[in-house]
């Protein structure tokens, strides 16, 4: 008798249904240390323990007084975490979390997903402590960071458009190679505890601190600092500064729970964390006094300020805390006259990013101007010479100079003459603009901060400070 | 009897002043609290360069350079009447800024004379710090002449930024701090412009720890001290534009030249390209912004000019951080190019749809980042249907650049790579010829 196969009841009893490969388990991102249903609050004791473990290797970072206290109208200090070897504060966290692994875990290795700084710190300390490290980084053109991680012996995998996809990939790899330990770079309790050591140093070096400004990405840094600072000095204020384009922690505070957000491309690349850490949020939400959102332009200006005045190279994330003071209009008036510490969290930037930020900041401040003249008629050469003589007389420095034929204008002999010049300040640029206004009819300044001056007084000039 | 305008009683060639260690010790006590006691920290690039390098971070001073020490000491040492009349100097750089800042702090009137075409930001800096700035003269020597005549007229003391004896004593305080912070230092590398740092630190360090080696570093365009030592008299050196502006002193000081004999173990000359590379490495690895003059010591180590210091404790004086951001960007670019990480080349592609896309795909597949890609149509030579594409690309290093060259060679017939002829990162170690390739260099002799 031919069989029709086995009945569904029999199949069910045999548990014949397997998990299909194309539909992976929904909860592949299962991290016992960062469980949203069971968030951990970090205590002051954890931080003290972390500090005692790392202080042999990590020296106290400098806390320097700003040279521009008069300009900012407060006692401003910077905590420079850029002096670590891999250039960011995450070295403290990397050393502590690797030290807390037992021998079996160390031999098997760790895996993590990172935007760059955390992977670098973990790779460096992993090489020192003989722990194999695998890092998953989202697709980026940061070949230098990848190269440095590989120099420290880490295994780098590039995957995903943002950090969430990289995290998912890291967990998928972990589920394939069972023994790896996953360490979350902004939410692991050990990371938060080690970040708190920064606050211990700040209060030792400057007991009279009133306010600490902290950049916020996933929230690990501010959670650690807030725990320690509020315990040692309850009247201290902690402000979290986040870029407007990737404000996952701010949104989590509004929503009273972390959730997945969309992050845009921002100057502060290392803060582009789509979902705030659950432990960090649980620890910090009642300790943070204020969350502040900043624009990318202000961050560029802060990078320029730190490069020019304090002679320190910082990345966008590191300059985020200071950028709150470059806001127009002024957003933190209550800090006038107080003792304020800005945490400069990191300095891993490459030549192109640094130069682009400096150029942008100069353009915003009016020190880089772009003028486009439309010249027509017969005496084109004389007109150009006239323009160049005015530029020389007003002591501007010409960076670039270009002539283009006008393609679709009515008059046949018309050219566009574009000049990019460097000026000393916004006032100087306005002087140049006034002179050009009186001498030429058909030209304009190609950058936004200047056109509202000419068009209408209703539009507030975004530059005036 | 006419008074010679150029006569500066403190810097008289017929009466050079001897600086003693006691002067330096007194100076260091006087300037305490007004001047930053800068940290001397270990550099992260020590392993790569094979020695224990420490940076004395003088760019952390308020005006961004070590000149504050000498200036403060000189100002405090003036008599009451001299303080009332005021001080004058001719300087566009660090000395002018330091003088402006400290004279304002001490309530002493100050005038700074600068050449007419000085950049506005330098003028603004001195003015913001409280000094009166006068513009006079085509170049620095004309400005200095004007400053000295103005000083005689108004009875103001002219403070020479690299030769005044009090200034030399003030700079020597750095040496005392080094020995306190790093008692077992083996060598100190000092950038040399007029010679004040070299003399001051040389005297103090040799007094406190005589077996320390003192090296002076200059660039090939600003080697006035090297030439003067070779001819055994102070000579005038014409200096063109240089990346190490702080070292651009035409004639070294009288007092410095007089005191320097027997102090310096060796003078070293380094090429300017290495200075650009040093600035880039310090920005990348240490994350400090330093000026050209401040980076020459590191540049000399990177160029392999100190093979005898391998494994030793070496302190590099990072003399200042006042570099214009535009110049910083250019120095970084030159550094990247010298390391082989920035490549400029031209390739001829077909001027049809897809020609440039093909080139870009090839470049991306090689793993490089394209920064700029500009097509130029041929003017005279070549056929009408081709365009020359000028590409600026970022690679991972020399090996990667070589791979790129191979790829381009394979796919295109007409290409041109600029500046790939020589590899400057292979120093000529072990020969008797110095890096400047002079036939009998003074830096290679003892």
User: Parallel, antiparallel, or unpaired for β B342-350 and B313-318?
Assistant: unpaired
Q: How far is A398 from chain B (nearest CA, A)?
A: 12
Query: Which of residues A21 and B97 earns the better pLDDT score?
Result: B97
Six-digit token string for B206: 């040799």
B41 to chain A, any CB pair closer than 8 A? The answer is yes
- Per the structure, the count of domains in chain B is 3
B2 to chain A, any CB pair closer than 8 A? The answer is no
Six-digit token string for A383: 């007109």
Asked if B265 contacts B213 with a C-beta cutoff of 8 angstroms, the reply is: yes
Q: How far is A48 from chain B (nearest CA, A)?
A: 26
Alpha-carbon distance of A200 to A197, in angstroms, equals 5
CA atoms within 13 A on the CB side of A22: 0
Determine whether the interchain pair A87/B280 forms a contact, defined as Cβ–Cβ distance below 8 Å: no
Tell me if B321 is assigned to some domain: yes
Whether A90-189 and A366-450 share one fold: the answer is: no
Backbone angles phi, psi at B70, to 5 degrees: -65, -40
A65 to chain B, any CB pair closer than 8 A? The answer is no
Six-digit token string for A335: 């800090």
| DSSP of A258-320 | ---------S-GGG--SS--HHHHHHHTTT--EEEEE-HHHHHHHHHHHHHTS-B---HHHHH
Residues of B in contact with A358 (CB under 8 A): 325, 328-329
Same domain, B317 and B242: yes
Select from B120, B287, B329 the Cβ nearest to the Cβ of A424: B120
Alpha-carbon B413 to chain mean position: 43
The CA-atom distances, in angstroms, between B32 and each of A153, B55, B72, B170, B173 are 46, 21, 10, 11, 10
At which residue do the structure tokens 């420095």 appear? A397
| Residue ranges of E strands in A107-207 | 110-113, 133-137, 155-158, 181-182
A302 to chain B, any CB pair closer than 8 A? The answer is no
At residue A391, the pLDDT reads 87
In chain A, pLDDT over 70 holds for what percent of residues?
89
Q: At what angle do helices A44-54 and A197-205 cross, to 10 degrees?
A: 80
Among A3-12, A21-30, B416-425, name the one with the lowest average pLDDT: B416-425
CATH of domain A90-189: 3.40.50.1100
Tell me if B435 is assigned to some domain: no
Six-digit token string for B364: 């991306």
B55 to chain A, any CB pair closer than 8 A? The answer is no
- Which residue of chain A comes nearest to B290, CA vs CA? A311
pLDDT of A209 above 80:
yes
Tell me if B440 is assigned to some domain: no
Alpha-carbon distance of B385 to B351, in angstroms, equals 5
The dihedral through the CA atoms of A81, A82, A88, A93 has a sign that is negative
The dihedral through the CA atoms of A328, A330, A332, A336 has a sign that is positive
At residue A315, the pLDDT reads 93
pLDDT of B360 above 80:
yes
For residue B278, what are the domain limits? 21-65+172-336
Mutate to test the interface with B, among A68, A120, A351 (most CBs of B within 10 A): A351
Tell me if B148 is assigned to some domain: yes
Among A205-214, B13-22, B72-81, B293-302, name the one with the lowest average pLDDT: B13-22
At residue A18, the pLDDT reads 52
Six-digit token string for B101: 């800042």
Q: How far is B34 from chain A (nearest CA, A)?
A: 14
Q: Which residues sit opposite B88 in a β-bridge?
A: B111, B158
Tell me if B256 is assigned to some domain: yes
At residue B42, the pLDDT reads 94
Residues of B in contact with A144 (CB under 8 A): 396
- Enclosing H/E stretch for B207: helix B196-208
At residue B318, the pLDDT reads 96
With a CB cutoff of 8 Å and minimum separation 6, the contacts of A435 are: A390, A394
Determine whether the interchain pair B321/A311 forms a contact, defined as Cβ–Cβ distance below 8 Å: yes
Mean pLDDT over each residue of chain B, to the nearest integer: 86
B1 to chain A, any CB pair closer than 8 A? The answer is no
pTM (2 d.p.): 0.87
Helices (H), B218-376: 224-231, 254-259, 272-281, 292-302, 325-338, 355-365
Residues 101-120 on B with a CB inside 8 Å of A are 119-120
Q: How far is B31 from chain A (nearest CA, A)?
A: 19
User: Parallel, antiparallel, or unpaired for β A75-80 and A339-344?
Assistant: parallel
Nearest to B214 by CA among B227, B223, B201: B201
Work out the pLDDT band at B420, boundaries 50, 70, 90.
Answer: low
pLDDT of A24 above 60:
no
Six-digit token string for B19: 């600086």
Same domain, B157 and B225: no
Among A74-78, A126-130, B12-16, B212-216, name the one with the lowest average pLDDT: B12-16
Q: How far is A366 from chain B (nearest CA, A)?
A: 14
Work out the pLDDT band at B424, boundaries 50, 70, 90.
Answer: very low
My answer on whether omega of the bond before B285 falls inside 30° of 0, hence cis, is no
At residue A464, the pLDDT reads 39
pLDDT of A20 above 50:
no
At residue B320, the pLDDT reads 93
At residue B204, the pLDDT reads 95
Alpha-carbon distance of A383 to A376, in angstroms, equals 9
Residues of A in contact with B33 (CB under 8 A): none
Residues of A in contact with B284 (CB under 8 A): 350
Alpha-carbon distance of A12 to A7, in angstroms, equals 9
Mean pLDDT over each residue of chain A, to the nearest integer: 86
At residue A191, the pLDDT reads 95
Determine whether the interchain pair B287/A83 forms a contact, defined as Cβ–Cβ distance below 8 Å: yes
CATH of A366-450, picked from 3.30.70.260, 3.40.50.300, 2.40.30.170, 3.40.630.10, is 3.30.70.260
Same domain, B115 and B236: no
Q: Which residues sit opposite A211 in a β-bridge?
A: A237, A340
Work out the pLDDT band at A450, boundaries 50, 70, 90.
Answer: very low
B357-365: average pLDDT:
85
Same domain, B258 and B220: yes
Task: Kindly calculate the radius of gyration of chain B based on its CA atoms and give it in whole angstroms.
Answer: 25
Residues 423-452 on A with a CB inside 8 Å of B are 424-425, 428
Determine whether the interchain pair B332/A85 forms a contact, defined as Cβ–Cβ distance below 8 Å: no
Same domain, B106 and B225: no
Same domain, B252 and B398: no
Helices (H), B303-417: 325-338, 355-365, 398-411
Residues of A in contact with B287 (CB under 8 A): 82-83, 87, 312-314, 347
Alpha-carbon distance of A150 to A120, in angstroms, equals 9
Backbone angles phi, psi at B286, to 5 degrees: -100, -20
Same domain, B177 and B311: yes
The CA-atom distances, in angstroms, between B360 and each of A70, B355, B357 are 50, 9, 5
Q: How far is A82 from chain B (nearest CA, A)?
A: 7
A200-228: average pLDDT:
95
Same domain, B378 and B277: no
pLDDT of B200 above 90:
yes
Q: SS3 of A216, please?
A: coil
Q: What share of chain B is helix, strand, coil (3-state, %, to 5)?
A: 45, 20, 40
Q: SS3 of B432, please?
A: coil
| Residues A330-363 pLDDT 10s | 889 999 999 999 999 999 988 888 999 999 999 8
Tell how many helices (H) and how many strands (E) occur in chain B: 16, 14
Tell how many helices (H) and how many strands (E) occur in chain A: 19, 14
Q: At what angle do helices A296-308 and A351-365 cross, to 10 degrees?
A: 100
| Residues B145-176 pLDDT 10s | 899 999 889 989 999 988 999 999 999 999 99
Exposed, middle or buried: residue B142 (CB in 10 Å: 0-12, 13-18, 19+)? middle
Residues 196-255 on B with a CB inside 8 Å of A are none
Six-digit token string for B34: 């007004």
Task: Kindly calculate the radius of gyration of chain A based on its CA atoms and give it in whole angstroms.
Answer: 27
With a CB cutoff of 8 Å and minimum separation 6, the contacts of B343 are: B337, B368, B391, B392, B393, B394, B395, B401, B404, B417, B420
Q: Which residues sit opposite A328 in a β-bridge?
A: none
pLDDT of B378 above 70:
no
Determine whether the interchain pair B287/A87 forms a contact, defined as Cβ–Cβ distance below 8 Å: yes
Same domain, B229 and B351: no
- Which residue of chain A comes nearest to B334, CA vs CA? A351
Of B114, B146, B165, the domain-final residue = B165
What letter does residue B77 receive in the DSSP assignment? T
* A44-87+193-360: in CATH 3.40.50.1100: yes
Six-digit token string for A155: 């295994």
Nearest to A105 by CA among A127, A125, A128, A130: A130
Six-digit token string for A202: 């700040």
Among A213-227, A359-373, B314-328, B415-429, name the one with the lowest average pLDDT: B415-429
Greatest alpha-carbon pair distance for chain B in Å reads 84
What phi-psi label fits residue B37: left (phi over 0), alpha (psi between -120 and 50 degrees) or beta?
beta
Of B165, B198, B216, the domain-final residue = B165
At residue A413, the pLDDT reads 72
What letter does residue B264 receive in the DSSP assignment? -
The domain ranges of chain A are: 44-87+193-360, 90-189, 366-450
Among A370-384, B190-204, B290-304, B316-330, name the one with the lowest average pLDDT: A370-384
Six-digit token string for B408: 């381009």
Asked if A81 contacts A345 with a C-beta cutoff of 8 angstroms, the reply is: yes
Residues in chain B: 446
pLDDT of B430 above 50:
no
Mutate to test the interface with A, among B122, B181, B325 (most CBs of A within 10 A): B325
CA torsion angle for A219, A223, A226, A228 (degrees, to 10)? -150
At which residue do the structure tokens 């007003």 appear? A394
Determine whether the interchain pair B59/A347 forms a contact, defined as Cβ–Cβ distance below 8 Å: no
Q: How far is A67 from chain B (nearest CA, A)?
A: 6
pLDDT of B332 above 80:
yes
Alpha-carbon distance of B342 to B346, in angstroms, equals 14
Alpha-carbon distance of A286 to A274, in angstroms, equals 21
pLDDT of A409 above 90:
no
Residues of B in contact with A350 (CB under 8 A): 284
Same domain, B332 and B213: yes
At which residue do the structure tokens 């725990």 appear? A227
Q: Residue B380: which CATH number?
A: 3.30.70.260
In chain A, pLDDT over 90 holds for what percent of residues?
56
At residue A394, the pLDDT reads 84
Six-digit token string for B38: 């800068």
At residue B228, the pLDDT reads 92
pLDDT of B349 above 90:
no
């Amino acid at each position: 008798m031919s069989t029709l196969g086995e009945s569904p009841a029999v199949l069910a009893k045999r548990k014949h249904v397997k998990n299909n490969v194309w539909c992976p388990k929904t909860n592949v991102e299962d991290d016992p240390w960062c469980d949203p249903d069971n968030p951990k609050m970090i205590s002051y004791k954890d931080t003290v323990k972390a500090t005692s473990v790392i202080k042999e290797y990590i020296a106290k970072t400098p806390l320097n007084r700003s040279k521009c206290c008069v300009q900012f109208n407060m006692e401003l200090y910077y905590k420079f975490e850029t002096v670590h070897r891999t250039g960011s504060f995450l070295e403290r966290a990397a050393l502590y979390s690797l030290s807390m692994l037992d021998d079996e875990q160390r031999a098997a290795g760790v895996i993590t997903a990172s935007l760059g700084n955390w992977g670098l710190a973990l790779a460096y300390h992993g090489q020192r402590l003989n722990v194999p490290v695998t890092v998953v980084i989202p697709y980026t053109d940061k070949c230098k960071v990848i190269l440095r991680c590989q120099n420290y012996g880490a295994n780098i995998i590039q995957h995903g458009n943002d950090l969430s996809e990289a995290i998912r990939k890291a967990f998928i790899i972990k589920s394939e190679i069972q023994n790896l330990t996953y360490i979350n770079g902004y939410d692991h309790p050990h990371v938060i505890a080690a970040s708190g050591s920064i606050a211990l140093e700040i209060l030792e070096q400057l007991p009279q601190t009133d306010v600490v400004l902290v950049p916020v990405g996933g929230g690990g840094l501010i959670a650690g600092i807030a725990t320690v600072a509020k315990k040692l000095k309850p009247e201290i204020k902690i402000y979290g500064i986040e870029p407007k384009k990737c404000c996952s922690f701010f949104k989590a505070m509004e929503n009273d729970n972390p959730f997945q957000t969309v992050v845009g491309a921002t100057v502060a690349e290392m803060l582009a964390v789509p979902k705030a850490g659950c432990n960090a949020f649980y620890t910090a939400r009642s300790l943070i006094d204020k969350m502040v959102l900043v624009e990318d332009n202000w961050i560029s200006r802060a990078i320029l300020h730190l490069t020019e005045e304090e002679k320190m190279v910082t990345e966008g994330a590191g300059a985020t805390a200071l950028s709150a003071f470059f806001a127009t209009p002024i957003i933190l008036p209550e800090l006038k006259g107080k003792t304020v510490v800005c945490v400069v969290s990191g300095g891993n930037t490459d030549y192109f990013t640094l130069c682009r930020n400096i150029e942008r900041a100069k353009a915003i401040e009016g020190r880089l101007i772009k003028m486009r003249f439309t010249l027509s008629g017969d005496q084109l050469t004389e007109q150009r010479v006239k323009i160049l003589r005015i530029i020389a007389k007003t002591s501007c420095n010409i960076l670039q100079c270009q002539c283009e034929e006008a393609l679709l204008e009515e008059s046949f002999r018309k050219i566009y003459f574009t000049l990019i010049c460097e000026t000393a300040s916004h006032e100087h640029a306005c002087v140049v603009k006034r002179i050009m206004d009186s001498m030429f009819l058909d030209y304009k300044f190609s950058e936004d901060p200047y056109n509202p001056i000419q068009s209408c007084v209703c539009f507030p000039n975004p530059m005036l400070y | 009897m006419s008074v010679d305008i150029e006569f500066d009683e403190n810097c008289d060639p017929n009466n050079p002043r001897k600086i003693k260690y006691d002067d330096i010790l007194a100076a260091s006590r006087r300037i305490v609290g007004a001047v930053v006691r800068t940290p001397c920290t270990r550099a992260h690039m020590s392993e790569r360069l094979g020695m224990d390098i420490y940076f004395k971070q003088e760019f952390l001073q308020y005006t961004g350079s070590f000149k504050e020490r000498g200036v403060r000491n000189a100002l405090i040492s003036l008599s009451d009447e001299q303080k009332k009349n005021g001080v004058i100097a001719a300087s566009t750089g660090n000395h002018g800024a330091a003088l402006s800042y400290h004279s304002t702090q001490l309530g002493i009137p100050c005038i700074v004379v600068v050449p007419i075409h000085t950049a506005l930001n330098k003028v603004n800096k001195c003015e913001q710090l409280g000094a009166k700035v006068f513009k006079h003269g085509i170049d620095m020597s004309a400005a200095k002449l004007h400053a000295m005549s103005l000083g005689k007229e108004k009875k103001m003391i002219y403070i020479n930024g690299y030769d005044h004896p009090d200034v030399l004593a003030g700079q020597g305080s750095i040496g005392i701090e080094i020995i306190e912070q790093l008692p077992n230092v083996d060598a100190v590398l000092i950038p040399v412009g007029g010679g004040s740092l070299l003399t001051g630190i040389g005297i103090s360090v040799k007094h406190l720890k005589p077996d320390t080696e003192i090296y002076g570093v200059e660039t090939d365009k600003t080697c006035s001290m090297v030439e003067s030592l070779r001819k055994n008299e102070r000579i005038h050196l014409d200096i063109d534009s240089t990346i190490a502006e702080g070292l651009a002193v035409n004639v070294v000081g009288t007092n410095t030249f007089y005191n320097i004999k027997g102090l310096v173990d060796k003078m070293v000359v380094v090429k300017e390209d290495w200075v650009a590379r040093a600035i880039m490495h310090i920005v990348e690895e240490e994350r400090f912004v330093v000026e050209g003059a401040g980076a020459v010591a590191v540049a000399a180590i990177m160029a392999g000019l100190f093979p005898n210091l391998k494994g030793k404790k070496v302190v590099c004086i990072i003399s200042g951080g006042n570099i214009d951001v535009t110049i910083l960007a250019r120095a970084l670019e030159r550094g990247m190019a010298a390391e082989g990480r920035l490549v400029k080349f031209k390739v001829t592609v077909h001027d049809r749809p897809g020609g440039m896309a093909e080139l870009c795909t090839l470049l991306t597949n090689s793993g490089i980042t394209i920064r700029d890609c500009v097509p130029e149509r041929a003017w005279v030579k070549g056929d009408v249907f081709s365009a020359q594409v000028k590409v600026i690309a970022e690679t991972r290093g020399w090996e990667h650049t070589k791979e790129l060259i191979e790829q381009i060679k394979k796919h295109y017939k007409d290409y041109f790579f600029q500046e790939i002829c020589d590899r400057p990162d292979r120093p000529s170690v072990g020969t008797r010829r110095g890096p400047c390739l002079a036939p009998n260099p003074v830096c290679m002799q003892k």
